């Protein structure tokens, strides 16, 4: 489980930067469901890296992953760092 | 009539404007008629030798388009989509029932997404390649704006951007009319869009000596044909016109705002940035546009000049207008109000020319206080002039010596 703070911050980022619908963003929503295409996923890796200060490779975020999955990835990196 | 297609008029059935003086045709036109200039200090240009411009004030892309669309678009495409929506609504065309494959898009743009490019260049320099947005290329390629308009409305016909610098919007409309005449489409969405007021670009224009330095009075800096003019003021904006064959427009009972009746183009083949002082190529463009319309110089009532407010453009253009039309035509430059929106300028001015004929009024050239004594023209200044004109010419000249001229006629 990611901590709630990371999930909340990620959710906020998805809404504020990418304009994802607040109604549709949840921990279980996949990026495909949120209409993220491949370029948006690369942008997400870039923006998340800046927001959370951890390295996220662009190939690491895939359309079938959920928001929760990415929050956990960020947390794992944060702990490792 | 110089060639077999002469006399083809394209009906203008939809208009959309996003300009430094208004978001929408009505609000922009009101300010143009009032001669209220838009120039103001520009926080993004702070510290540069020229720190003022004509931006579209109050434009909120997230509010207009939704954040999920807006973040992926360069500002030029954002402005164009808003102008498109207005033009389509105005046209009364129904995108749910039209044959999208028969709808073309031809838009003018000069400099692509240079604001996006400049921002991303700074990201690269300060934070490395991984900080460069994957949207950089689709945001700054100059053709994208036409692609985005097609995506917005489902226009699946021929789709292109014309780039003839400051003539791009005019070239687009002329090309759009040719496309309609060719039978390759039934509707053309045309016009121009530009949002190129980036720090590096403005520094470059300033180094050329092309921009006004009247920083103490930015709203008086764009003053076409005035004795005290000293350069243009960079602007941004978008204009969209919907063109259809006259018979099609009549058949569906559409409101026709005016006609694009002729188009002429030429190249100075002279110098990268200085107009040919002889004006011969411009004369050729004007005469071929009139030939194309089946008209002569004697038919022309009104000229919407390129009128950039640079010393050399206005002097050269005035001489040419004088040579062709004498002081018999009512001349205006709407750049006094709006500044110079580069690749969008010709399209914005085409809309103003259509409105001038439709409404029977020539807008004043803002900031024209003392006509340059070298210029012997009837330039409308200070107040709008009521005049039931039928035929107008709209001039646009681009760096590279690219000239484009439209003949606009009343509906």
Q: Which pLDDT band holds residue A3 (cuts at 50, 70, 90)? A: confident
Q: Which pLDDT band holds residue B156 (cuts at 50, 70, 90)? A: very high
Select which of A5, A37, A57, A75 is catalytic: A37
Q: Do A42 and B62 touch (CB under 8 A)?
A: no
Structure tokens at B22: 């208004």
Mean pLDDT score of chain B, rounded to an integer? 96
Q: At what angle do helices A67-80 and A4-16 cross, to 10 degrees?
A: 120
A54 in B contact zone (CB under 8 Å): no
Tell me, yes or no, if A75 is annotated catalytic: no
Contact B140, B185 (CB under 8 A): no
Decide if pLDDT at B46 tops 60. Answer: yes
Decide if pLDDT at A71 tops 60. Answer: yes
Decide if pLDDT at B2 tops 50. Answer: no
Domains of chain A, start order: 4-80 (1.10.1200.10)
Distance CA A10, CA A71 (A): 7
DSSP B205: H
Looking at chain B, the domain(s) classified CATH 3.40.47.10 span 10-251, 261-401
Q: Do B67 and A19 touch (CB under 8 A)?
A: yes
Superfamily of B261-401 according to CATH: Thiolase/Chalcone synthase (3.40.47.10)
The CATH code that applies to domain B10-251 is 3.40.47.10
- What's residue A78's pLDDT? 85
Q: Do B67 and A16 touch (CB under 8 A)?
A: yes
Distance CA B285, CA B266 (A): 5
Which tens digit of pLDDT belongs to each residue from B233-264? Answer: 999 999 999 999 999 999 999 999 999 999 99
Which tens digit of pLDDT belongs to each residue from B23-37? Answer: 999 999 999 999 999
Work out the percent of chain B whose per-residue pLDDT is above 90: 98
Contact B408, B258 (CB under 8 A): yes
Residues in A closer than 8 angstroms to B133, CB to CB, are 43, 46
Select which of B140, B153, B166, B352 is catalytic: B166
> What does the pLDDT average to over B329-353?
98
DSSP B275: P
Smallest Cα distance from B236 to chain A, Å: 24
Which tens digit of pLDDT belongs to each residue from A50-61? Answer: 999 999 998 999
Q: Write the burial class of residue A29 (CB in 10 Å: 0-12 exposed, 13-18 middle, 19+ buried).
A: middle
Q: Do B66 and A50 touch (CB under 8 A)?
A: no
Residues in A closer than 8 angstroms to B61, CB to CB, are none
Decide if pLDDT at B105 tops 80. Answer: yes
Q: Do B68 and A19 touch (CB under 8 A)?
A: yes
């Amino acid at each position: 489980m990611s901590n709630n703070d990371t999930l909340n911050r990620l959710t906020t980022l998805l809404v504020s930067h990418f304009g994802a619908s607040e109604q549709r963003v949840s921990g279980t929503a996949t990026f495909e469901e949120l209409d993220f295409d491949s370029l948006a996923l690369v942008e997400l890796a870039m923006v998340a890296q800046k927001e959370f200060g951890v390295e996220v490779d662009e190939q690491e975020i895939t359309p079938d992953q959920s928001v929760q999955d990415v929050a956990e990835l960020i947390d794992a990196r944060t702990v490792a760092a | 009539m110089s060639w077999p297609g002469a006399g083809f008029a394209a009906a203008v059935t939809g208009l959309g404007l996003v300009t430094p003086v208004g978001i929408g045709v009505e609000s922009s036109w009101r300010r143009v008629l009032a001669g209220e200039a838009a120039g103001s200090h520009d926080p993004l240009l702070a510290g540069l030798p020229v720190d003022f411009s004509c931006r579209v004030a109050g434009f909120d892309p997230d509010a207009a388009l939704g954040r999920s669309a807006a973040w992926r678009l360069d500002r030029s495409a954002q402005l164009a989509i808003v102008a498109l929506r207005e033009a389509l609504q105005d046209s009364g065309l129904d995108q749910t029932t039209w044959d999208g494959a028969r709808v073309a898009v031809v838009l003018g743009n000069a400099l692509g997404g240079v604001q996006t490019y400049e921002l991303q260049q700074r990201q690269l320099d300060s934070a490395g390649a991984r900080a460069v947005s994957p949207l950089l290329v689709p945001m700054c390629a100059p053709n994208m704006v036409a692609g985005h308009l097609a995506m917005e409305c489902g226009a699946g016909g021929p789709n292109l951007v014309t780039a003839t610098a400051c003539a791009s919007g005019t070239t687009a409309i002329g090309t759009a009319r040719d496309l309609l005449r060719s039978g390759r489409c039934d509707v053309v969405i045309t016009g121009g869009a530009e949002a190129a007021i980036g720090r590096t670009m403005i520094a470059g224009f300033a180094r050329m000596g092309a921009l006004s330095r009247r920083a103490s009075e930015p709203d008086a800096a764009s003053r076409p044909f005035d004795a005290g003019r000293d350069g243009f003021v960079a602007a941004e904006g978008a204009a969209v016109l919907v063109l259809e064959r006259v018979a099609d427009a009549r058949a569906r009972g559409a409101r026709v705002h005016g006609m694009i009746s002729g188009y002429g183009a030429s190249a100075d083949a002279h110098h990268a940035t200085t107009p040919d002082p002889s004006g011969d190529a411009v004369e050729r463009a004007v005469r071929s546009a009139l030939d194309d319309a089946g008209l002569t110089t004697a038919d022309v009532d009104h000229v919407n000049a390129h009128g950039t407010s640079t010393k050399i453009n206005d002097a050269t253009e005035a001489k040419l207008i004088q040579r062709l039309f004498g002081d018999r035509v009512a001349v205006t430059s709407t750049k006094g109000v709006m500044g110079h929106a580069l690749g969008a300028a010709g399209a914005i001015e085409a809309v103003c020319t259509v409105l001038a004929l439709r409404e029977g009024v020539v807008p004043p050239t803002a900031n024209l206080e003392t006509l340059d004594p070298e210029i012997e023209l009837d330039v409308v200044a200070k107040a709008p002039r009521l005049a039931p004109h039928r035929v107008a010419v709209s001039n646009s000249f681009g760096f590279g010596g690219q000239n484009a001229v439209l003949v606009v006629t009343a509906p």
